[in-house]
Structure 1
Amino acid sequence: MIRQGGKRTTNAEAKDALSRITRLIATPEGDAQDRTLPVLAYYSAGRAWIPARDKHTEPELDMSKRSRLDAYYYCLDGRIRDRQINEWFLWEKLAAMQSGSERAGYRAVKNAVLRCLPDGRDIKFDVDRKEIVIVFSDKPMPFYDLSDGQRATVSLVADLAIKSVQLNPHLGDESAQQSPGVVLIDELDLHLHPRWQRRIVEDLRGVFPALQFVATTHSPFIVQTLRTGELIPLDAQPVPTLDNLGIEAIARGLMGVAHPEVAPRYAQMVDAAKDYLLMLEEAAAAPEDKFREYVQRLAAGIGPYADNPARHAWREPSRNRLRRLPGRSPLPDPAPRPLLLLL
């Protein structure tokens, strides 16, 4: 965090979380291995491409030597480590080959990913490709061939589920469902198609019901899926009931987007047309010495939309009326200058 008025970040408050977790493990009553630990994670808007820090030495993925607390390594640095996720699936593949069956933790992670992956049928490690493969309707798709939105979602969900399994192996198949914790996600809609944006909140809620998610978004599609009390606008404006609001109402009322029902250029064209008509009336009544100024203003106002043939056909009669105004010097034919040609 950066304290109010400060300039440097500090993680001093993280010591409190560390001490609480340490006490939880060290409590003498019962078996510490059966104590449920909280998942802590932060995913930045650059989570898919933030480079690794060379000064960090990441823990080895030797499953026989791993600690439950390894899930807290760099859990707040904002990055998703695809390589570690890939290697985790490799180790689970080897464990399944050795024992003859999938482990509970693997099933928990696989089920979590598939529930958040539309049309996903299976996820596994392909030994020949040396990477994770997702099966869509019996068609295998290598992880790095997925779309950015698919990769971002698979990585985030798999990372959270793996953390849940590592921290709470005693929960078995229910690790993702029962592990509590706090997860921060910047730009939840990152790379997601609007159809996927409309379901991602409920997907995460269903897969990780015990986690508290705190996310940011600029997507009206995600805002529309939130329940009462779940949206906090940063400008502190009051929040209406969202479940009966359309996308346009959300974009206009909550996000301050003018004319969300049409393209920005169309709205600009409408405004330009209104100004054009008003200036036509003013030009007709203007003194002779101001008449040419109005002609130039008309050209400048309508000029950016000259590529619209309907607009051109509509304004040509108006231009001719200006030429024929009684008592005016006739307008010359357009010279090869952009502003005059646009009249």
Structure 2
Amino acid sequence: MRLDRLHLQNFRCYEDAHFDFQPGFNLVVGVNGSGKTSLLLGVAGCFGNLLGSIGVHRPSIAESDVRFELVKFEDRIRFERSYPLVLTAQGGAFEHQEWHVSLERSSLQTNFSALNSLVFSENLISIDGATHGDLPVFAVYQANRRWLTMSVTAEHAAQSKPSRLDAYTSWFDAASNLKNFETWFIGKTLERFQRLARTGFPGILTDELTWINSAIQCALPESKGIEYDMEMRGLMVDIDDRKTPFNDLSDGQRGMVALFADIARRICLLNPHMGKDVLSKTNGIIVIDELDIHLHPGWQRTIAPALKKAFPSIQFIAASHSPQVIGSLQPGEVILLNNHDGSHPRATYGLDSSSILEEVMGVPQREPEIEELLDQLFSTLENNELEKARSQLDALKKKAPDLPEFAGAEALLKRKEIIGR
């Protein structure tokens, strides 16, 4: 599964826009209100009907997604919905190369058209009951993710019988709760204990739990991963050789562990026949809004490379404001939104955060007030108004101590005071 191009018509803030995506990582960047979340929801909307065709719950494209248009009528102005809403996707999803989702004023029902849609549905349904046949992962992680466990019991997990298609459960809000992850993880832990009791063979530990922890270690090299502690009756995470209950982790730690673990769980559910290669070979699309949420700047710099390393065949479509995230990606991996159009910046990878703020995001490196006061100071020095310059320098030091420009200004001022010009 992949998305090559998306055409949005009358969808939320977009009147008519095209966006191209590359197979690997795609980071959507823009100011608040530029359309980042709307673009991600457009991606979700064009795949929702594909999943809905096999009975997986999906939220429909709704009237609230239809773009508002300002209409002048005589001396009055009013807002009206602009129909039809149309999402046109090009890429690959089983037999599909292009498909459409639309919403008309007359019906207010979502229409879906694609070549071979019956083949798509039959393929998924038949694959679900089979031991082979590759399935793509698809999940949307929205910005309001909190990742709290639900205290699932081992008794409940032991009674659960997961299907391969359970990997698509809660796909539209994959971080809404961790109950599905917790149930599956505890069940796999019980399976491991059972196999060890039967065989006594330590090599049996190469299983889904091992692969999930390998994904977590891509994000947090200092972590040994996550486990279910039978005595504590809860999920424990080992970071720097210290085991901590999952819910007691910081928001940033919990977010990193849960994101990588949940993606890996969905992949392991979908393609168990791939064995140890399941994380590297499974393809699909993962959508993540506010990729950097709750993360320290150091982790913001590493999260995109870690996702690419852990899941090399996945297409990621994410949004972020973080210069650290932007600086970890190549220009072709960054989609810069401006007036609802997308373009690639000239340079990103390896730039420091200040350069990215100014050159990519159009944000001054420092507060405009301080920048203006520095300009005034050096202009006064240039005009040899030395007493005024000394006063400006002293005032600026009180307002913003320890600016690196002070050393140069002091040296220039002293030289001019000595030589008189």
Distance 2:378 2:133 in 1: 69
Post-superposition offset of 1:97: 1.6
Q: Which residue of 1 aligns with 2:226?
A: 123
Q: After superposition, where does 1:242-281 map in structure 2 within 5 Å? A: 242-258=348-364, 260=365, 262-263=366-367, 266-267=370-371, 269-270=373-374
Post-superposition offset of 1:105: 1.6
Q: What is the identity percentage for the equivalent residue pairs of Structure 1 and Structure 2?
A: 32
Of the three residues 130, 144, 147, the one matched with 1:32 is 130
Greater strand proportion: 2
Q: Which residue of 1 aligns with 2:216?
A: 113
Q: Which amino acid aligns with 1:86?
A: E
Q: Which residue of 2 aligns with 1:45?
A: 143
Q: 1:42 to 1:193 in 2, by over 3 A?
A: same
Q: Which residue of 1 aligns with 2:324?
A: 221
Q: Which residue of 1 aligns with 2:186?
A: 90
Post-superposition offset of 1:182: 0.4
Of the three residues 166, 180, 183, the one matched with 1:70 is 166
Greater helix proportion: 1
Q: Which amino acid aligns with 1:14?
A: G
Q: Is the 8 A contact 1:183 1:213 kept in 2?
A: yes
Q: Which residue of 1 aligns with 2:244?
A: 141
Post-superposition offset of 1:89: 2.4
Q: 1:46 to 1:276 in 2, by over 3 A?
A: farther
Q: Is the 8 A contact 1:188 1:216 kept in 2?
A: yes
Question: TM-score, structure 1 length as denominator?
Answer: 0.69
Of the three residues 5, 10, 30, the one matched with 1:5 is 10
Q: Is the 8 A contact 1:114 1:121 kept in 2?
A: yes
Q: Is the 8 A contact 1:85 1:155 kept in 2?
A: no
- State the aligned residue count: 283
Post-superposition offset of 1:168: 0.7
Q: Is the 8 A contact 2:215 2:264 kept in 1?
A: yes
Q: Which residue of 1 aligns with 2:263?
A: 160
Which sits farther off after the overlay, 208-217 or 90-99? 90-99
Distance 1:128 1:154 in 2: 22
Post-superposition offset of 1:217: 1.0
Post-superposition offset of 1:271: 6.0
Q: Which amino acid aligns with 2:345?
A: V
Q: 1:244 to 1:159 in 2, by over 3 A?
A: closer
Q: 1:127 to 1:2 in 2, by over 3 A?
A: farther
CA offsets, 1:136-157, max 9 Å, x none? 2322122122121111111111
Structure 2 SS opposite 1:128:
coil
Q: Is the 8 A contact 1:113 1:157 kept in 2?
A: yes
Q: Which runs of 5+ in 2 are unaligned?
A: 1-5, 14-40, 54-116, 151-155, 197-203, 386-394, 402-421
Q: After superposition, where does 1:154-193 map in structure 2 within 5 Å? A: 154-193=257-296
Q: Which amino acid aligns with 1:5?
A: N
Distance 2:176 2:206 in 1: 23
Post-superposition offset of 1:15: 2.8
Q: 1:198 to 1:12 in 2, by over 3 A?
A: closer
Distance 2:292 2:345 in 1: 20
The CA RMSD over aligned residues, in Å, is 3.9
Q: Is the 8 A contact 2:228 2:234 kept in 1?
A: yes
Q: Is the 8 A contact 1:198 1:225 kept in 2?
A: yes
Q: Which residue of 2 aligns with 1:16?
A: 50
- Compare CA radii of gyration and give the structure with the larger one: 1
Distance 1:156 1:124 in 2: 15
Structure scoring higher RCO (CA < 8 A, sep ≥ 6) equals: 2
Post-superposition offset of 1:167: 0.7
